[in-house]
Amino acid sequence: MSITPPLTDIRDMGIGALRQAYLEGALTPSQVMSDIRERAQAYRQHNIWIHLLSEVEQSVWLDALADKSPESHPLWGIPFAIKDNIDLAGIPTTAGCPEFAYTPDSSAKVVQQLIDAGAIPVGKTNLDQFATGLNGTRSPYGACHNAFDFDYISGGSSSGSAVAVALGLSSFSLGTDTAGSGRVPACFNNLVGVKPSIGLLSATGLVPACRSLDCITIFAYNTDDANIALATAEGFDASDGYSRTNPYSNQARQYGLRTGNVKIGVIPTSQLKFFGDHDYETAYHDTLNKLTAQGFELYEIDYTPFDEVAKLLYEGPWVAERYIATQPLIDDHPEAIFPVVRDIIEPGSKPAATALFRAQYRLNTLKQTCLEQMATVDCLLTPTAGKHFTIAEMLEKPIQHNSELGYYTNFMNLLDLASIAVPTQITDGGRPFGVTLVGQTFSDRKLLSIANRIQQILPLPKGALAAPAAPQNHAPISAPETIDVVVCGAHLSGQPLNWQLTERGAQLKQTTYTEATYQLFALAGGPPLRPGMKYAPQQGGAIAVEVWSVPTKEFGTFVANIPAPLGIGKIKLVDGEMVSGFIAEEYGLEGAQDITHFGGWLKYLDTLSDSTTQ
């Protein structure tokens, strides 16, 4: 065992630290890149790079910085590494297979957006060939070694991209993730790994593994850096058939520090698997204990349907997509493909269309079950990996151990979920451990905000460096999925317009009173009969109301249907809380009957009922 001690002799490579040094004039990008190339030589045996850029190759991007302002370019002079299945103009793309190599004329859209923001490519990194694997040993360029312990796997397939950041050879990096490749290497190298919602980052310029499932991913030291890189890289791309527009609720400004109680779904002990790694098992339970002490609430979920989905990825017909991605090479020159990778891909020519449809039917059934459970919590939390294998162990049983690495990861993209891998512990054996947060589509910033809180609760160094990695963003984010609305009349339970709440999935939160400063009026017109309420400190009283929690995504249509003279304003409840609710504009109260003395709409309606029965 050869453990790498924390690197104390290099500068802080975080995005914020480098930007500060640049703005102060204490450092130049050329100095940083020169230092990286020099230090990269010390790690040649780690097999990080397939193509480390020379000074001449980098010069075009370094020279372009002269025309870019550091203040307006968030990644000005920031070094980043690129997994070698993602295009960089003028530099060969190999996907880990020399016989497959080609030289693209243009960069992948994500890469170009990062360069436009001032980022500087460092090189193309090693990977499990054709992004087929979770371990980092399936490459003709050599097994990529772990940043903390040379004898252990780096994780894959985005192996070199993770190790480059962990060892301070880039500030962040791009990987990909179909089955866990953007999360497992993050765990094994003490990094944040962002597996975004499918389509959030363009896949144009990416060599596909499974085109319908692939995601370009980001490795970073902390969630602050990850959010900056994600904000720069994301964006709708009409040339990518799987690209999707990011909703407002998931924009970069929605990232911060998640506050309050957080409801976390966890796997029952009987369904956890650590494959004999007692250090990882201990680290996982210790992580949960520390989080529950800081306001995280744990709720057990049944992992069985998630595991069944995971098995569909490699045991089902989706392997056909990997076959499509490697044609005609696997047909005409199968010897050019790494043996283990070839054994996985070759059967992909056999599944029939009927098998795919049957698998899709089963997947949709399982998806309903999985999402129903996820709807009850803020996110799921799993170990990112159950065991950290040595390279020797992986080479001895490459299929079995790779499958074990995917136990907590393979379900993700088939269910169209987002996830963030976040480091939480350094084990007693000196190896990193981390957990993965899982959320529904376009919950990326919500997950990043929760991961921010976890990093601040459980601070660790940046990768294998000595610098602290804790994020600095403390802006409180509550990430509400519902908006509370005060109703006082026709929307009350049992009243004619209550369906406008219930059919939008709103839930009754409480029955209460306003502060004693509101007047209630019976408005003219109808049906249905409706009240109007206004703030009147001198003439007002306490009015009986209900508070309903309306799904945020439905709130706009609810408000749009409110007729004049009513609208939504802020109403102060008896406990002093200010909540959005129905108010009436002054002009609409002309000729209306003041019914404040009844103390609420339902009591007023009772008097009308009594008068009709007499």
Domain locations along the chain:
15-477, 482-613
Q: Which two tokens stand for residue 281?
A: 């098992």
Q: Are 264 and 301 in contact (CB under 8 A)?
A: no
181 residue type, one letter: S
Residue in the structure block whose two tokens are 């990093």 = 455
Q: Are 584 and 566 in contact (CB under 8 A)?
A: yes
CA distances from 393 to 151, 390, 400, 517, 583 (A): 10, 5, 10, 72, 68
What's the rounded Cα separation, in Å, for the pair 136 and 258? 34
What's the rounded Cα separation, in Å, for the pair 260 and 449? 12
CA distances from 585 to 374, 534, 564, 600 (A): 41, 8, 8, 19
What's the rounded Cα separation, in Å, for the pair 143 and 120? 26
Residue in the structure block whose two tokens are 């790079």 = 49
What's the rounded Cα separation, in Å, for the pair 139 and 47? 10
pLDDT of residue 78: 98
Angle at 190 between CA 189 and CA 196, to 5 degrees: 90
The residues annotated as belonging to the active site are 83, 157, 181
174 φ/ψ angles, rounded to the nearest 5 degrees: -105, 135
For the chain, the residue count is: 614
pTM of this structure: 0.90
CA distances from 538 to 322, 516, 519, 552, 601 (A): 73, 9, 9, 35, 20
pLDDT of residue 477: 87
Mean pLDDT by 10 residues, the chain (614 residues): 64 95 96 97 97 98 96 97 98 97 98 98 98 96 98 98 98 97 98 98 96 96 98 98 95 95 97 98 98 97 97 84 84 84 82 86 96 96 98 97 97 98 96 98 97 97 93 85 94 96 96 97 90 95 97 93 94 96 94 95 90 55
Q: Are 282 and 431 in contact (CB under 8 A)?
A: no
Q: Which two tokens stand for residue 585?
A: 């504009």
What's the rounded Cα separation, in Å, for the pair 26 and 33? 15
pLDDT of residue 613: 53
Q: Going along 9-66, which residue ranges are E strands?
A: 49-52
172 φ/ψ angles, rounded to the nearest 5 degrees: -155, 175
pLDDT of residue 347: 81
What's the rounded Cα separation, in Å, for the pair 366 and 363? 5
Q: Are 534 and 569 in contact (CB under 8 A)?
A: no
CATH topology classification for 482-613: Hypothetical upf0131 protein ytfp (3.10.490)
CA atoms within 13 A on the CB side of 64: 16
Which residues 6+ apart lie within 8 Å of 10 measured at CB?
35, 39, 168, 465
Element spanning 522, H or E? strand 518-522
CATH topology classification for 15-477: Amidase signature (AS) enzymes (3.90.1300)
What's the rounded Cα separation, in Å, for the pair 443 and 43? 37
Is the backbone peptide bond immediately before 461 cis, with ω within 30 degrees of 0?
A: no
Q: Which two tokens stand for residue 480?
A: 């509400």
**What DSSP string runs through 378-434?**
SEEEEES-S---BHHHHHHSHHHHHHHHTTTTTTTTTTT-EEEEEEEEE-TTS-EEE
Q: Are 7 and 168 in contact (CB under 8 A)?
A: yes
pLDDT of residue 476: 92
290 residue type, one letter: K
What's the rounded Cα separation, in Å, for the pair 481 and 555? 10
